[in-house]
Amino acid sequence: MNNVEENTARYDRARKVIPGGVNSPVRAFKSVGGTPVFIDRARGPYLYDTDGKEYVDFVLSWGPMIAGHAPESVVDAVRAAAEKGLSFGAVTEAETQIAERIRGILPSVEKVRLVCSGTEATMAAVRLARGATAREKIVKFRGCYHGHGDSFLVQAGSGALTFGNPSSPGVTRGAAQDTLIAEFNDLGSVQKLFAAQGKDIAAIIVEPVVGNMGVLAPEPGFLEGLRALCDGRNTLLIFDEVMTGFRVSLRGAQGLYGITPDLTTLGKVIGGGLPLAAYGGRADLMDRLSPEGPVYQAGTLSGNPLAVAAGLATLDLIMAPGFYDRLEALSARWENDLGAALARSPLPFRINRVGSMMTVFFSGKNVRDYDSAVACDTALFGRFFQACLREGLYLAPSQFEAGFLSIAHDEAVLARVAEKTERAVRSL
């Protein structure tokens, strides 16, 4: 049995006991074709599959591995924490330390609550916003993803002012009807919602840099306009920085664009690859959480000592002087090399990059919102993905996901990537 046959057999075995053979849908390669690669280990910028093949990794566990895979200091911190015990279900000093560290980095976060996943963080932030404002409706943006909570799995209705409809079976119309849909980078669509139902809107939740339609940057004035709409209306602005927090800059998108949200959700980088997320904001809001206030949220493994240890060690790495300058320089080279390879082909493309997040879209037009994203040539992206995979480049297996770079993708690695990308493009 050759490697392809062995990998297919692994996938067939997985599908017998796991829905679709995967524990998160995008891993199934449905939008790019082929059989998922089974990963055995990772180190620095590289993944190694079960058959031993090496790949330069641009997924990085969907963003957390900003310092590369298995950095020694993070592994050592987790090992030391594990030797003391895997979980206590009780308070630890390390939880206070990471909360203090987050507050010291993000001025908008006066208090923070640790959870285990980005979905938990966004669900809790919205519940807190509703509890604080005594309102029920939220505004989200078409194509933005905030986890798999019922309130977020909603698509637009027939008009800008209609209630959303559930976009997944199992989400009730009752859960969906309090979610209003606007268009990213279209402030007017938000203004119309506020004109019609502003007195009922508890919060706007937004990815300040979208990562779940591919990377979309906010246009000048958009985030500022959202902040202005919330001000004076008893409406809270929630920045979902699960992906962008500590990724697009040390202070995330809110630091990059100079906008202060009322609540922030964090994940991915904050846990250094372990299941850790958080939400935080103004103290007067956070003090409404149980046990101090009436808004309930709890979690058995929240603040898990191994995850907190990994998070603290990762924050130590990214706070080193020059870390983000170095990461930006490497990311710019990654963008330039990819653009140069594609420019030598007849393929229409656009590259969107913010910091170390990047997506190549196969389109002849700028990609700035949901409509322009879904108009891209996804079949061509699938062929590009497979060509890169054959060359040992592991990209996000979907046109509508962000790619990520780490500090471990140094000049030597990127020089190899440029050669592999050139060959992949020529094969198309």
Q: Residue 225 corresponds to which tokens in the numbers above?
A: 């306009």
Pick the CATH number of 72-318 from 3.40.50.300, 3.40.50.10470, 3.40.640.10, 1.10.3720.10: 3.40.640.10
What's the pLDDT score for residue 279? 98
Rg (CA), the chain: 21
DSSP letters, 100-142, are HHHHHH-TT-SEEEEESSHHHHHHHHHHHHHHHHT--EEEEET
Same fold, 3-70+321-427 and 72-318: no
3-state secondary structure at position 332: helix
- Report the relative pairing of strands 350-354 and 357-361 from DSSP bridges: antiparallel
Q: What is the pLDDT of residues 26-85, one digit of tens each?
A: 898 988 999 999 999 999 999 999 999 999 999 999 999 999 999 999 999 999 999 999
Residue range 398-406: mean pLDDT, rounded? 96
pLDDT at 157 over 80: no
Q: What is the residue extent of each domain of the chain?
A: 3-70+321-427, 72-318
pLDDT at 147 over 50: yes
Q: What is the pLDDT of residue 1?
A: 65
- Please give the structure tokens belonging to residue 48: 């190694």
Rounded distance between C-alpha atoms, residue 34 and residue 49, angstroms = 15
Percent of the chain with pLDDT strictly greater than 90: 88
Give the residue numbers marked as catalytic: 145, 240, 268
Q: What is the per-residue pLDDT across 255-278, written as a single tens digit (0 to 9) for each?
A: 999 999 999 999 999 999 999 999
Q: Convert the pLDDT of each residue in 193-242 to its tens digit.
A: 999 999 999 999 999 999 999 999 999 999 999 999 999 899 999 999 99
Is the per-residue pLDDT at 361 higher than 50?
yes
What local confidence, expressed as pLDDT, does residue 165 receive?
A: 56
343 burial level (CB within 10 Å; 0-12, 13-18, 19+)? exposed
Phi, psi (deg, nearest 5) at residue 222: -70, -55
Residue 270 is classified by DSSP as G
pLDDT top residue among 167 and 141? 141
* More confident of the two residues 195 and 174: 195
> In Å, how far from its chain's centre is CA 278?
13
Q: How many CA atoms lie within 13 A of 413 on its CB side?
A: 21
Average pLDDT rounded to a whole number, residues 154-172: 54
In whole angstroms, what is the distance from residue 212 CA to residue 30 CA?
16
The span from the CA of 25 to the CA of 17, in Å, is 15
Q: How confident is the model at residue 160 (pLDDT cuts 50, 70, 90)?
A: very low
Total-model pTM: 0.95
Q: What is the DSSP string of 342-366?
A: HHTSS---EEEEETTEEEEE--SS-
162, pLDDT greater than 60: no
Strand duo 179-182 + 165-166: pairing? unpaired
- Cα separation, 78 vs 356, in Å, equals 25
The third-level CATH classification (topology) of the domain covering 3-70+321-427 is Aspartate Aminotransferase, domain 1 (3.90.1150)
**pLDDT for 159:** 34
The whole-number pLDDT of residue 163 equals 43
